[in-house]
Structure 1
Amino acid sequence: MQPLPGADLPHTHPRAVHWVATAAAMAGVIALAALIQPPSVAAGNDGKGAHAGRPAPGPDPDSATYPLDCAGTEPEVYKHGSADFDADGRAETVAVVRCRSAAGTPPSGMYVLSSTKPGVSPHVTATLVDPAEGMSVGEFAVRENEISATLLGYSSPDVPRSKPDKQRKVTWKWDDGRFGLTAEPVPGTQV
């Protein structure tokens, strides 16, 4: 049997270097394809609207001014989360804030922050928990159009401020341009 014409040429015999070069070229093509995507895919837009992708990050809660009188100390943000409640492509930030204290647990305020432009200080657009109510915020979570928290309180002025003896789970849902509050029954009560 005679070899096919050109079968004895050096470039027709695969060597390891040929396989390595082919693999490297394929890896380069795959990496380039991952970087270059149509604009709707790169923005996370699945065709459900202009803001269907991930929203811009929420405002920085540490740069806001809160309606909280801390008698000479600065308020501290000790919990926060963000979500785009109004679906405008810019996330709002929910901040749980309290005055700094050396002892006990000062009451919490829970505020929703918005910012109209990057670089502009955010402003409070909603107060969900007013510190004047004397409650603290325990567990806290922010999801899509919902904020959930466990509010901690005191049955009397005699209860130490470091040991709340009342609690209630609450949820705020964004609906029709405002937050609606739903509270679960107080533990130990019958519905």
Structure 2
Amino acid sequence: MQQSAVPELAHTRTRPIHWVATATAVAGVVALSPVLQPGSATAAQGAVGSDAKSAPAAVVPPRTSGVTFPLNCGPVKAVVAKEASGDLDGDGRPETVAVVHCDSAMGTPPDAVYVLTRAKDGGASRVVATLVTPGERLTVTDLAVRARAVSATLLGYSSDDVPNCCPDLKTPAKWQWNGRVFVRTTPAGALGV
């Protein structure tokens, strides 16, 4: 057997004092870790030698809760089925587009589509435009707000003889603000379902 060139190590046996020292060191690291944390990371770099202004806080889109929609539902309440938000008029504040219908236990109630906004001071949400009325007997699907435009697919009926359960027309639609009103365009002709 070959002898080690290194003398026998003094710490080959653990004693209670070693455990106490280790526990004390770990407790010290844990206690000091909140103090020694690095600052928050940011993706943007501040400009050198200039007064960098902080970006304004994001503007919250209008909420649909608490809004009285111009929809006559009788004894049942109006239900917001879909909503999408985005800046439709280019003023830097988002609007919310809501698809609303009466809460019906049977059948498919027709949808209405409303545009909501809020005052600059962040007041209550209010309806400022109607894109689809319930009288048009349409069901709205695929609602989206992109590039300052509202797009949706409208399911409708070719005649009054078509049952409410089974729309037979499918029409893509798009609305854009022209500075005074929302103008509807139909990217493609009405399609049969």
TM-score (norm 2): 0.69
Quote how far apart the aligned CAs of 1:157 are.
2.5
Once the two structures are superposed, residues 145-185 of structure 1 have per-residue CA deviations (whole angstroms, 9 ceiling, x without a partner) of 01111111112223221211111001112333432211121
- Are residue 115 (structure 1) and residue 130 (structure 2) matched? no
* Alignment-derived partner of residue 140 in structure 1: 143
Larger deviation, residues 66-75 vs 167-176: 167-176
Residues 108, 135 of structure 1: 8 Å contact kept:
yes
- Kindly provide the amino acid, as one letter, of the partner of residue 145 in structure 1: R
- In the alignment of these two chains, the number of paired residues is 155
Residues 90, 148 of structure 2: 8 Å contact kept:
no
- Are residue 78 (structure 1) and residue 86 (structure 2) matched? no
- Kindly provide the amino acid, as one letter, of the partner of residue 161 in structure 1: N
* Alignment-derived partner of residue 34 in structure 1: 42
Name the Cα RMSD after superposition: 3.1
* Alignment-derived partner of residue 190 in structure 2: 186
Residues 136, 152 of structure 1: 8 Å contact kept:
yes
| Larger Rg over CA atoms | 2
Quote how far apart the aligned CAs of 1:86 are.
2.1
Q: Structure 1 pair 35/146, CA: closer, same or farther in 2 (3 Å)?
A: closer
State the identity %: 41
Note the residue ranges of structure 2 that are not aligned, 5 or more in a row.
Answer: 1-32
- Are residue 169 (structure 1) and residue 178 (structure 2) matched? no
Once the two structures are superposed, residues 112-145 of structure 1 have per-residue CA deviations (whole angstroms, 9 ceiling, x without a partner) of 0011133x33111111001111111122111130
Residues 86, 177 of structure 1: 8 Å contact kept:
no
Question: What secondary structure sits across from 2:40 in the alignment?
Answer: helix
TM-score (norm 1): 0.69
Quote how far apart the aligned CAs of 1:35 are.
8.5
- Kindly provide the amino acid, as one letter, of the partner of residue 179 in structure 1: F
Distance 1:41 1:160 in 2: 60
- Are residue 96 (structure 1) and residue 99 (structure 2) matched? yes
Question: What secondary structure sits across from 2:42 in the alignment?
Answer: helix
Q: Structure 1 pair 28/59, CA: closer, same or farther in 2 (3 Å)?
A: same
Q: Structure 1 pair 64/36, CA: closer, same or farther in 2 (3 Å)?
A: same
**Whose helix fraction is larger, Structure 1's or Structure 2's?**
1
